[in-house]
């Protein structure tokens, strides 16, 4: 990549970050990732996308995302819930199971491969799921489309449903934020790490990335760049060995933008047409998933001493940031909601490789993407370097 191409990527990233900031102010969920995917797809479809970023950049982005996800674990919040945590976690596990069942039905109905449908429907951790899709044998374009359609629907419906279920208005709880134990949310936006000593925070994060990637490779994790650092960081966070190493504010937003560009750059006209045809079926599946999760929260309210609206927000199928914003405005039980959403995210990501191996037996002889002539997802997908060469050839052809 020459200096001119590097400047193009910097300018493009800055433009998307600015646009995402504006979208975030009007309440659009996950604006950085969504806007980057859309921008990357438009530029790819029109043949104006700059040369693909080096593979090492994508690896580094996934590793830092792993550090970010691992920093969400806050043991103090989990222990504060007492024995009530057990049935809540049981419902959380049931939410994942229900999302898999809905994905299996959806995959059969639209003739999509099971791994792509499952990753697209999994509740929580949309950025991490999209980032891991390639290495787990799924099509990241379809996964991203389904994940963010789900996030948008959950984010739009959560405030109304939570307000409808709220029967304990006026109760206030202690504050809690994702990664609150290792980052300072009051830092200026231009700071990139969660402490005032930026160099120390960045050095710790880089060390966690390097150790995590090496450990992930040694454990033969299918997505070592993401899962390895996430596992190491979760352990360090749980033990309270250090603080301030979570990517925050500008840096966190940039990570989401770069992941979005990586996915959006792979879109083709055929994939766009296919996704447009699937929107009604996807919407029905996502609504069904949300209704089932709300029903489980209603049943759980009879066994634990939590408000029904808090239980719904804690178990919503995704949209963590939008859910936390809703909970904060309502004065909801943020420690409960943060803890449950975080445990589900970390548990799901660690179990993803095993889940994908189990689901391979459900795949038919041809997935939906293969049957219609699109690139086969994951294992049958052409390597990224081939995509890069074809894209470069198209740029010059």
pLDDT tens across 113-160, in order?
888 888 888 876 777 788 788 878 888 888 888 888 887 777 777 777
Taking CA atoms, 70 is separated from 128, 209, 230, 235, 317, in Å, by 11, 11, 4, 8, 20
Which of 267, 279, 271 lies closest to 373, judged by CA? 271
Instruction: Give me the pLDDT at residue 175, please.
Output: 60
Q: Is the pLDDT of residue 197 over 80?
A: yes
The overall longest dimension of the chain from CA atoms, in Å, is 65
Compute how many other C-beta atoms are within 10 angstroms of the C-beta atom of residue 299.
12
Q: What are phi and psi of 122, to 5 degrees?
A: -60, 135
Instruction: Give me the pLDDT at residue 254, please.
Output: 92
Could you tell me if residue 307 is left (phi over 0), alpha (psi between -120 and 50 degrees) or otherwise beta? beta
CB distance 350 to 336 below 8 Å: no
pTM equals 0.73
Reported as a pLDDT band with limits 50, 70 and 90, residue 171 is low
pLDDT tens across 309-329, in order?
888 888 887 767 667 766 766
Instruction: Give me the pLDDT at residue 177, please.
Output: 65
Instruction: Give me the pLDDT at residue 396, please.
Output: 44
Compute how many other C-beta atoms are within 10 angstroms of the C-beta atom of residue 392.
12
Tell me the C-alpha distance between 118 and 113, whole Å.
9
Q: Is the pLDDT of residue 231 over 70?
A: yes
Mean pLDDT, rounded, of the chain: 78
Tell me the C-alpha distance between 36 and 349, whole Å.
23
- Give the mean pLDDT of 271-285: 86
Helices assigned H by DSSP within the chain: 3-25, 31-45, 55-70, 75-80, 85-110, 114-121, 126-132, 140-165, 198-218, 224-239, 249-264, 269-300, 308-315, 320-330, 334-359, 368-371, 384-396
**Percent of the chain whose predicted confidence (pLDDT) is above 70:** 83
Q: Is the pLDDT of residue 15 over 90?
A: yes
Which residues sit opposite 247 in a β-bridge?
A: 193
pLDDT tens across 351-377, in order?
877 888 787 776 654 444 443 444 433
Instruction: Give me the pLDDT at residue 207, please.
Output: 94
Tell me the C-alpha distance between 49 and 203, whole Å.
32
Total domains present in the chain: 1
CB distance 264 to 38 below 8 Å: yes
- Give the mean pLDDT of 84-100: 81
Give the burial class of 173: count Cβ atoms within 10 A of its Cβ; 0-12 exposed, 13-18 middle, 19 or more buried: middle
Q: Is the pLDDT of residue 198 over 80?
A: yes
Instruction: Give me the pLDDT at residue 136, please.
Output: 81
Is 126 or 8 the better-scoring residue by pLDDT? 8
Domain with 287, as residue range(s), is 3-396
Angle between helix 320-330 and 334-359 (nearest 10): 160
């Amino acid at each position: 990549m020459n200096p001119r191409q590097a400047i193009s990527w910097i300018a493009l990233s800055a433009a998307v970050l600015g646009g995402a900031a504006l979208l975030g102010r009007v309440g659009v969920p996950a604006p950085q990732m969504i806007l980057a995917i859309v921008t990357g797809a438009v530029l790819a479809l029109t043949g104006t996308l700059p040369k693909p970023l080096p593979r090492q950049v994508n690896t580094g982005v996934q590793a830092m995302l792993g550090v970010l996800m691992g920093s969400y674990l806050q043991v103090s919040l989990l222990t504060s819930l007492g024995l009530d945590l057990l049935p809540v976690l049981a419902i959380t596990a049931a939410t994942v199971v229900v999302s898999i069942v809905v994905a299996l039905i959806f995959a059969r109905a639209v003739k999509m491969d099971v791994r792509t449908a499952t990753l697209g429907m999994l509740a929580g951790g949309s950025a991490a799921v999209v980032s891991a899709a390639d290495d787990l044998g799924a099509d990241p374009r379809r996964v991203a489309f389904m994940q963010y359609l789900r996030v948008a629907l959950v984010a739009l419906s959560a405030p109304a449903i939570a307000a409808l279920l709220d029967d304990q208005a006026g109760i206030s709880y202690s504050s809690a934020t994702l990664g609150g134990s290792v980052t300072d949310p009051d830092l200026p936006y231009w700071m990139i790490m969660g402490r005032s000593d930026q160099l120390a925070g960045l050095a710790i994060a880089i060390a966690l990335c390097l150790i995590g990637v090496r450990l992930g490779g040694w454990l033969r994790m299918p997505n070592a760049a993401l899962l390895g650092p996430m596992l190491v960081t979760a352990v360090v966070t749980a033990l309270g060995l250090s603080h301030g190493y979570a990517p925050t504010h500008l840096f966190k937003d940039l990570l989401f933008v770069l992941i979005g560009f990586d996915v959006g750059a792979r879109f083709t006209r055929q994939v766009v047409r296919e996704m447009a045809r699937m929107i009604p079926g996807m919407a029905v599946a996502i609504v069904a998933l949300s209704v089932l999760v709300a029903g489980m929260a209603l049943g759980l309210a009879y066994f634990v001493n939590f408000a029904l609206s808090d239980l719904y927000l804690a178990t919503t199928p995704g949209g963590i940031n939008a859910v936390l914003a809703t909970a904060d405005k309502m004065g909801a039980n943020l420690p409960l909601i943060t803890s449950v959403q975080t445990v589900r995210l970390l548990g799901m990501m660690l179990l993803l490789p095993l889940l994908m191996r189990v689901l391979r037996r459900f795949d038919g002889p041809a997935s939906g993407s293969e049957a219609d002539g699109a690139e086969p997802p994951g294992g049958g997908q052409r390597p990224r370097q081939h995509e890069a060469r074809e894209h470069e050839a198209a740029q010059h052809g």
